Amino acid sequence: MADAKRFVGIDVAKAQLDVAIGPNGESFSVANDETGISELLRRLEPADLVIIEATGGLEVPVASALATAGIAVAVVNPRQVRDFARATGQLAKTDALDAQVLVRFGEAVKPQVRALPDAQAQALEALVNRRRQLVEMLTAEKNRRANSPKVIHKSIDEHTRWLEKRLAGFDDELAGLVRETPIWRERDELLRSVPGVGKVLSTTLLAHLPELGALNRKQIAALAGLAPFNRDSGSLRGSRCIWGGRAQVRRVLYMAVVSAVRSNPVIKNFYAQLRARGKYPKSALTACMRKLLVILNAMLHNNTHWHATALTSPTSTLYPPGDAVSEHGCC
């Protein structure tokens, strides 16, 4: 990455790609379609490092095309780029200026280039996202029925039944996609061997946290937004609090931990210990989320099925000494 000849910033919009090459290089725009992306590829070099903001999926076609052409691509967090722009005094905001900011961000931060998901991984992520949307719509309809006149109950009930049917269909599609992919099937079996981990958490981790098993405990906790950050200033010692990360993973992990504190002996005992030490319920659950994630990360790393006895043993080899998580993973 450090050997890249040029840093290239691309601001992605629905209809257009604004491109800036180097701090003092050329700037141009192309259409955000196959013709425009082909023109973009002709004007870039294999040694370039392209910086693109994550824009809810609009960046996927151009990022995939660049990666396929052998050009390094770093998809970065828009909030970080905006904070960087403000820190450097760039308060104005246009698409062309944003592309230049991405160039300077790349030069200063040198973001890590990660492998982009293939078509099958993108399909899994899309199905998981759509399933979550259906669950949100189903919850909204049920809440709406409770406060609505009886005259519209029939309409709401019909829509609710339709949503439940579509939700079951998406569950079948997700299960089929996982079964058809050997590596996902193996990882899914490992994850679901843990009490409290069901199909929803397993598929969410496969889709939204593919790094699970490849990072250490601190890195995976930070990636999921479960790493506690200090809040100290002078003599003040503030409470540690989690921040950022992948919210969709945290939401599903929270529900799994609520189940795990009743059905998983390791998480249940850990939660009881934290509560006995005076931790608030929410803080204790957050710490349990981090502990469960660390356990799952170690299981995938070592290709090891769940074994409660090994986890509770002082000589456990599931994760290295000092790699177990403490109660400080809470806010």
> Given a cut of 90, is residue 9 above it in pLDDT?
yes
The C-alpha angle with vertex 93 and arms to 89 and 94, in degrees rounded to 5, equals 140
pLDDT band at residue 308 using 50, 70 and 90 as cut-offs: low
Q: 290 or 239, which is more confident?
A: 290
pLDDT at 311: 57
Question: How far is the C-alpha of 117 from the C-alpha of 120, rounded, in Å?
Answer: 8
Domain 7-109: homologous superfamily in CATH: ATPase, nucleotide binding domain (3.30.420.40)
Q: Exposed/middle/buried for 71, CB within 10 Å: 0-12, 13-18, 19+?
A: buried
pTM score: 0.74
Q: pLDDT tens for residues 56-71?
A: 788 888 998 898 888 9
pLDDT range class, residue 329, cuts 50, 70, 90: very low
Of the given ranges (7-11, 58-62, 130-134, 259-263), which has the lowest mean pLDDT? Answer: 58-62
State residue 320's pLDDT score. 45
**pLDDT at position 244, please?**
80
Query: In the predicted model, is pLDDT for residue 87 greater than 70?
Result: yes
Mean pLDDT (whole number) for 130-147: 93
Q: What is the pLDDT of residue 70?
A: 87
Which residues, at least 6 apart from 269, have a Cβ–Cβ distance to it below 8 Å? 312
In the prediction, which pLDDT does 230 show? 77
Residue 240 pLDDT greater than 70, yes or no: yes
The pLDDT of residue 312: 53
The mean-pLDDT minimum among 25-34, 192-201, 313-322 falls in: 313-322
Residue-level pLDDT at 310 = 53
**pLDDT tens digit sequence for 163-203:** 999 999 888 989 998 998 888 999 999 999 999 999 999 99
Q: Per-residue pLDDT for 154 more than 90?
A: yes
